[in-house]
Structure 1
């Protein structure tokens, strides 16, 4: 079926000498994988490798044949040229990290307009803001809503958060119950939008501890999840 839709690039992997295998999250059909033939060598083709950098938003025309198929693009153009993500080294590092997180968490090959719109809005905000130190924390926390394991905010006056159940409690009941500073940060970030980032102050140690907790939360709720390879670089930069 020939489909005209928007897509956000998640990853691009070199295949052979000149081909690319591109994973993208599409508005119409969720996660799709495309084979781009000879794109790394041809100077006359309609596709350029630079179009498939992490988080690039595209307008594409593709023949979508169904789930679990390698698809082929008929046409593509950049829908929104980011102003700073690919030129700002810290933003670029964050973009690589977030793209890895999306690659490790999104599996559904079906349309989810709410998730697509969230990703589109988030990356446009990242492109235009200068307050980025805690952006990834808010992004990942809010992403859980669309992945189906958002922390419940009921009883958020309780001092314990159960990572396994995603709820606040009065006392710990298993090895995945956390207390203290990470719970305080969780309560502060739950439900906020990126506009509130300017009011969030966090030192390196607190930020890294909370990120480690978030990644454990993802690991507990997504089968086969593994930490991004770019995690160590991200932590180093925000130190």
Structure 2
């Protein structure tokens, strides 16, 4: 049955010689996998594979059947062409990191309009920001916890949970103040952190996720992100 929905592209894997399987978080159906044929063929002139780069915002017409794990697309186009996210190294690295974390933590296969709206608003902030986005990846993960069911009320609860699991996180007063801001305030709110403090907090946030997500595994984009932002 054909259905219209919106989506946020997460990633894709190659399938056979010319196709891909794309993972997309959709507004109406949650996390879905789509078989997209022919996009890696030399005869493909429209570069359709670019639509499935991390965080691309999509308008889609899909063939949806509730009992299937793999679906097909009838139509797909971007709803918001990017001008900065794929071309600025810091933004691209953040995008790869947050999409990897999303693929490891989002499990639901039913739509959540509130979560979808959060994802879209987050992507649009990163795309449009010209300043004060150096902490985006931290704020995104901390805010995402409220949708995953393990949101800390503030810095103290965050720190206490880490200590209970023997993670040595002892922030100074400025880092604790910044952490509270990242949890509670909108994107772009200044939260001054040194490069060292930002990397330490990044490791602490990933450790916090490991406490709550058993299958998190290795985060392959993490070393690249740390290097780019150092």
TM-score of the alignment, normalized to the shorter chain, above 0.5:
yes
SS in 2 for 1:41: coil
Q: Which runs of 5+ in 1 are unaligned?
A: 165-171
Change (3 A) 1:212 1:44: closer
Greater shift, 4-13 or 183-192, is seen at 183-192
Aligned counterparts of 2:186 and 2:119: Cα–Cα separation in 1: 13
- Alignment partner, residue 195 of structure 1: 188
Aligned counterparts of 1:59 and 1:97: Cα–Cα separation in 2: 23
Aligned pair count reads 227
- Alignment partner, residue 159 of structure 2: 161
- Alignment partner, residue 101 of structure 1: 101
TM-score with structure 1 setting the length: 0.87
TM-score with structure 2 setting the length: 0.90
- Alignment partner, residue 86 of structure 2: 86
Aligned counterparts of 1:125 and 1:160: Cα–Cα separation in 2: 25
- Alignment partner, residue 186 of structure 1: 179
Q: 8 Å contact 2:152–2:158 — kept in the other structure?
A: no
Aligned-pair distance for 1:130? 2.3
- Alignment partner, residue 225 of structure 2: 234
Aligned-pair distance for 1:227? 3.7
Aligned counterparts of 1:9 and 1:24: Cα–Cα separation in 2: 4
Aligned counterparts of 1:227 and 1:85: Cα–Cα separation in 2: 24
Deviations along 1:64-96, whole A, 9 cap, x unmatched? 212551111111111111110011122111111
- Alignment partner, residue 110 of structure 1: 110
Q: Which runs of 5+ in 2 are unaligned?
A: none
Aligned counterparts of 2:55 and 2:35: Cα–Cα separation in 1: 18
Deviations along 1:133-191, whole A, 9 cap, x unmatched? 111111111111111111024xx6x6983226xxxxxxx65525844336454224221
Change (3 A) 1:68 1:112: same
Higher helix share: 2
**Aligned Cα RMSD in Å?**
2.2
Instruction: Please list, as runs of the form range in 1=range in 2, the aligned pairs for 1:118-197 lying within 5 A after superposition.
Output: 118-131=118-131, 132-153=133-154, 161-163=159-161, 175-176=166-167, 178-181=169-172, 183-196=176-189
Q: 8 Å contact 2:178–2:192 — kept in the other structure?
A: no
Change (3 A) 1:174 1:223: closer
